[in-house]
Structure 1
Amino acid sequence: MNSDYAVIPVNSSVELQNQNNAASLEIPNPKIQSKEFPGEQNIDESDEIDGVPLIFDGDLRPETLGSGVPGAVFNLATSVIGAGIMALPAAMKVLGIGFGFVSIILMGILSEISIEILVRFSVLCKSTSYGEVVQSALGRPMRLLSEICIIINNAGVLVVYLIIIGDVMSGSLKHTGVFDQLFGNGVWDHRKMVILIVLIIFLAPLCALEKIDSLSLSSAASVALAVVFVVVSCIVASIKLAEGTIEKPRFGPDLGSKSTILDLLVVIPIMTNAYVCHFNVQPIYNELDGRSPQKMNRVGRITTVLCVVIYAATAISGYLLFGDDTESDVLTNFDRKLGAEFSIILNYIVRIGYVLHLVLVFPVIHFSLRQTVDALIFTKSVLDDKKKALPLTVVLLAVIYLTSTVIPNIWTAFKFTGATTGLSLGFIFPALIALRLDKQGKSLSDGERRLSWFMLVLAVVVSIIGVAGNIISLKNKSE
């Protein structure tokens, strides 16, 4: 192939250097089959990899690229920080501050390593999506399985978002809604109607955007709102610590009771699932200006540090504030007095700010959901055609809305997806990709190979423990 780019090997990754400003660009054929493994792509590092937006199939316009490192960081961080952040204080209650804090750091490091593995082999295989790199390593059936995991995981997350938005604004059986506290009883008590209005006015326009880079500003705002929640929680917790009104926290799990051990089985998947954002790595990389594996790795590392700080601060401050009364969704704890000055105002800031955060996170998760459904159902992508892409977006939003209205509480289901699809996307598939392709390309060092095996075994064990814990928990509740 006559390409305008020359390959420059840098360690185990591949970078591109533009040799001239030729007007025409060629896309390498990503469907070259490996002779050693059926269904695998050729991953020879001497292959040429064009520095063009692989996500496009038709008219290539490099000038449309513009996502810098900050925008990519915000989009990736938004994919990480979602509804799961509100379960971390309850996880900290079970694990204790010391063990919980260490778990947050370790899971962040492992997740970042798995992202770098995914980026490396995506570039070597010329893959434009999560499913494509899975197919390169594991074949077409495993790609279908990975895409089904993405659809289940992302659709479940979006349903949770809508339910939380409705509960916070309209209230539920467990707590009073913001509208009730501000205006008393009224039409806003109807959760289904509130969710529908939010979906039509705020979520649908954002979900209709064609490129994930278009969500950079909203992603930055969502991260800022998450920081607001952290700052408020930390300030109130610090005030109560200074006043001596906070109970002494535990620094490790309490293994003295059967119920606590059962809680550990349920909580562990929440911690391992906290950083799953891998389904959005390829779309973000595709739109990264001057993209290279090294630049995307920098995006991943900055995102990990940011998320570790936010997660640790949220988990610790939330647990310190409410102690053993911390609920599975800590947001429900904020409908009561916090025991500090201006606590009512702070409660409104926390809850409304979190709802806005979910509104801005929603389209980022929806983007990868829509892209995966498109790849799974249609032989030719419909996302390049606005007239066809819009109906697909409307159908997905309608299904998500209807599901949120018939399921009153899906936290248990959310824990199941975390123990299955979340762990599969974040650790099992990346580890399998690395180990499988290493047999052909020999791209892993001994340390990376051992680490891949460790991630694979850890994810499988945690998944089994999580599913078993949820089944036992459901059985106990039904008795």
Structure 2
Amino acid sequence: MELQKMNGHSKEEGFDGLDVMAEHEEFLPHKTGAKKETHFTDFEGKTSFGMSVFNLSNSIMGSGILGLAFAMSNTGIILFIVLLLSIAILSAYSIHLLLKCAGVVGIRAYEQLGNRAFGSMGKIVAACVITIHNIGAMSSYLFIIKSELPLVIQAFLGSDANSEEWFLNGNYLIIIVSISIILPLALMKQLGYLGYTSGLSLTCMVFFLISVIYKKFNIDCPLDHPNMTVIADDHVATNKTSDFCEAKMFTVNSQTAYTIPILAFAFVCHPEVLPIYTELRDATKKRMQGVANISILAMFVMYLLTALFGYLTFYGDVESELLHTYSRLGLKDILILCVRFAVLVAVTLTVPVVLFPIRRALLQILFPDKPFHWARHAAIAFCLIFLVNLLVIFVPSIRDIFGIIGATSAPTLIFILPGIFYVRIVPDDQEPLLSRPKIQAAGFAALGFIFMIMSLSFIITDWVTGASRSAGGH
């Protein structure tokens, strides 16, 4: 019932025989001309390769891009590049494990891989992790809308910063944006249709990157501003020596520990991989791996350039959110105003893409045997958006909650579940338990547990010492 046709694609170079046979046995009906009941996962693959790249790239690109320059300031350029490259490679390998599992058993739903590996409990755990992580991601996007949209409107209208007009209230604005833009997009039946909005979203972020590069050559360091030494989260730049505006190649400080979590969260896209695979035209494992590799490479380049030029603009004085640092130039800076608007468009159009895997996870748990129904489809979207709006409006200290969610869900989605699924699902007659691929997958899962324990330890230590300064998030 979760199975998907292979769209007539019978052979693909690079597949081993067992993978092809397994996919075809599961994905094609056993009797020619026989009709099977259509379920919500049984979409025909109609999304082009390019649109799939847009969708997956858009799901990778999160609000964490605004915190990467801050991360680089706490590691130095060389260490940052090494960490960023390592996380990108590990993320691509993780997707390879997921696609391998999906090819062996003919299942293209993350939750159903959990069901195949560990039964109903595995299915529930996978669905819960996806739901928690993506709700956190949706909330982070709406928080950006809540904080940045009033500033854009204020700059356009020339309103007083202390104005209490309703249209400058971020709580009202996120409700309006959710109802008028996010909800209609979330009601689309298939994720593939969002390829056009994903393309627009990525275009906005490319504009953001170009602006960051341009501003590097138009802003002198240090900024001549009376509040220059005070930056986000009460972080005070104490190094005002002559080398303050010199780039550091390698550095370690109290904030360096947060760099790996920030980078890991920035590459989480795994809940969206299998839905995008399901809707890919002429879907094969090799073709979908190509989509993933191109998307990860594109985001690696964007992340690296954004972090590098943002850091080289403000050096040790860069804030935990890059846009806040540019606020020192004043709200009337036209280019930065356009950048704010572009980022708002990008995060707004990303929310529906992130919502799709949550809805799929809930459908897998609550209505696994039910065919697609518009009322159910729309009701889940409305309830999710309503819940996220409540979180953003009424929970002022959501950053700490995101820290716990991110420290647990990101390593689970990237490392732990793909590694464990691979060990459990790939047959022993195809790859023995002590074969190199399975040992690598087990080590990959173990790395995820280490990463989780490390992240939680740093967060709890910050809470205990009262010095929480974590930045960014996917």
**TM bucket, shorter chain:** 0.7 to 0.9
Question: When the two structures are aligned, how many residues end up with a matched partner?
Answer: 431
CA contact 1:83–1:161 (8 Å) conserved in 2: yes
Q: How much has 1:407 moved relative to structure 2? A: 1.7
Distance, in Å, in 1 between the alignment partners of 2:176 and 2:43 is: 37
- Match of 2:175, SS state, is helix
Q: Secondary structure at the match of 1:291?
A: coil
1:452 Cα deviation after fit = 2.0
- In 2, Cα distance between equivalents of 1:88 and 1:14: 42
Is 2:341 aligned against 1:352?
Answer: yes
Give, in whole Å, the separation in 1 of the partners of 2:364 and 2:294.
Answer: 30
Gap change, CA 1:475 and 1:244, over 3 Å in 2? closer
| RMSD, matched Cα | 3.0
Pick from 291, 299, 306: which aligns with 1:299? 291
Structure 1 residue 197 corresponds to structure 2 residue 176: yes
CA gap 1:114/1:64 in 2 versus in 1, 3 angstroms: closer
> Residue 409 and residue 57 in structure 1: after superposition, are their counterparts in 2 closer, same or farther (change >3 A)?
farther
1:393 to 372, 381, 385: 381
Residue 60 of structure 1: how far off its partner (Å): 11
Partner of 1:311: 303
Instruction: Provide the residue aligned with 1:417 in structure 2.
Output: 405
Looking at structure 2, the residues matched to 241 and 435 of structure 1 have their Cα atoms a distance apart, in angstroms, of 54
Matching of residue 141 in structure 1 with residue 121 in structure 2: yes
Instruction: Give the distance between the partners of 2:51 and 2:221, measured in 1 at CA.
Output: 38
Q: Cα offset for 1:441?
A: 4.7
Letter in 2 for 1:411: R
Distance (Å, rounded) in 1 between the aligned partners of 2:42 and 2:451: 43
Deviation at 1:329, TM superposition (A): 1.9
CA contact (8 A) 1:7 1:14 kept: no
Letter in 1 for 2:105: C
Local SS of the residue matching 2:280: coil
* AA in 1 matched with 2:247: P
> What are the Cα deviations for residues 367-407 of structure 1, in whole angstroms up to 9, with x where unaligned?
1111111222234346x111222122111111111111012
TM-score normalised to structure 1 length:
0.82
* Conserved 8 A contact 2:9-2:283: no
Q: 2:325 aligns with which of 304, 324, 333?
A: 333
Task: For residue 6 of structure 1, report the CA deviation from its aligned partner.
Answer: 9.4
Going from structure 1 to structure 2, the CA distance change for 1:357 and 1:412 (only over 3 Å counts) comes to: same
Partner of residue 45, structure 2: 65
Whole-angstrom distance in 1 between the partners of 2:52 and 2:455: 32
Q: Is the 8 A contact 1:99 1:252 kept in 2?
A: yes
Q: Does 1:408 align with 2:406?
A: no
Cα distance per residue 1:98-119 (max 9 Å; x no partner):
1111111111111011101101
* Residues 12 and 443 in structure 1, CA contact (< 8 A), matched pair in contact too: no
CA shift digits 1:104-161 (9 cap, x unpaired): 1111111011101101111211213101112212332122111111110001111111
- Structure 2 CA distance for aligned equivalents of residues 439 and 144 of structure 1: 23
What are the equivalent positions in structure 2 for 1:18-417 lying under 5 Å apart?
45=22, 48-50=25-27, 57-58=37-38, 65-170=45-150, 177-183=151-157, 184=159, 185=163, 186-240=165-219, 247-254=245-252, 260-261=253-254, 263-337=255-329, 344-381=333-370, 384-417=372-405
Q: Deviations over 1:156-182 (max 9, x none)?
A: 111111111010012xxxxxx222233
Change (3 A) 1:275 1:310: same
Residue deviations 1:223-251 (CA, integer Å, cap 9, x gap): 11111111110122244589999811211
Question: Structure with the greater relative contact order (CA < 8 A, sep ≥ 6): 1 or 2?
Answer: 2
3-state SS of the aligned residue for 1:67?
coil
Q: Is the 1:112–1:300 contact (alpha carbons within 8 Å) kept by the matching residues of 2?
A: yes
Structure 1 alignment gaps of length 5 or more: 17-43, 171-176, 255-259
Cα distance, 1:123–1:471 mapped onto 2, change above 3 Å: same
Would the alpha carbon gap of residues 66 and 437 (structure 1) be closer, same or farther in structure 2, given more than 3 Å must change? closer
CA positional deviation for 1:466: 0.6
TM-score normalised by the chain length of structure 2? 0.83
**What displacement does 1:62 show?**
9.8
> Identity over the aligned pairs, expressed in percent?
23
Which residue in 2 is equivalent to 1:31? none
Q: Is the 8 A contact 2:142 2:174 kept in 1?
A: yes
Contact residue 19 and residue 104 of structure 2 kept, 8 A? no
Offset at residue 335 of structure 1 (A) = 1.5
**What is the CA distance between 1:50 and its match in structure 2?**
2.7
Rounded to whole Å, the distance in 1 between the matches of 2:192 and 2:379 is: 21
Distance in 1, matches of 2:7 and 2:350, equals 38
User: d(CA) in 1 for partners of 2:102 and 2:386?
Assistant: 33
Q: Distance in 2 between matches of 1:307 and 1:73?
A: 11
Contact 2:222–2:245 under 8 Å retained in 1: no
* Structure 2 segments unaligned to the other structure (5+ residues): 1-5, 30-35, 225-243, 469-474
Distance in 1 between the 2:43 and 2:360 partners? 23
Of 454, 466, 469, which aligns to 1:477? 466
**Correspondence for 1:28:** none
Question: How far apart are the structure 1 equivalents of 2:42 and 2:388?
Answer: 35
